[in-house]
Amino acid sequence: MQFDVFIALVVFAFVMAFTPGPNNILLTASGVNFGFARTIPHLLGVDIGFVFLLAVFAAGLGLVFAALPVLQIALKIAGALYMLWLAWKVATARPAEDSDGPLGQPMTFWQAAAFQWVNPKAVVSALSGVAVYMRPGHELHDFAVVLFIFALATVLSTATWAGFGVALRSFLREPRHARIFNIAMAALLVASIVPIVA
């Protein structure tokens, strides 16, 4: 892989990983509501789930997905519905310090891993990474590089966004403020659906 292509890959992977999107919004909300330790399964589910998605697309599913518009439509519908449900869960989540009601539950490893398959930002990122940065005749070498860069960007991003949520906890100790934050995060999650259905 040429150096300029490698730099372009690094920039693309880190921009896709660190910019706000469904995973980062949910990890921030989880960090605020449940702390870092309880968010770790969610965080690892995103990391491993996205890497697995990328590997499956590189193995050939990406070509099938790109060739069948019906799969893309199904992804849009499933992703939008699931994200609406997640937005409701975030909006109604109670922070750990709120003793007025039952605690919500952070996303599990398997839920977070499965979410990558209906997360349009993750799917677009994986498809683009495979299509743009894997050259015919150099698939194995390029795949190793693409996988490493995307995995590194994803791990750093998930830890950063969950940590950002944890850092906000001290400012959101008041249950009313925490609820406002959760509603704002849910609204951002809903807003992230608009490009999907547009």
> Of 93 and 134, which is predicted with more confidence?
134
d(CA 69, CA 58): 19
Report pLDDT digits (tens) over 17-62: 998 888 998 999 899 889 999 999 999 999 999 999 999 988 876 5
What pLDDT score does 110 carry? 96
- pLDDT tens digits, residue range 143-196? 899 999 999 999 999 999 999 999 988 887 777 777 888 788 788 777 777 766
Domain residue extents for the chain: 44-197
Q: Rounded to whole angstroms, how far apart are CA atoms 106 and 23?
A: 13
Confidence of residue 96 (pLDDT cuts 50, 70, 90): low
Between 113 and 198, the higher pLDDT residue: 113
Tell me which DSSP letter residue 61 carries: I
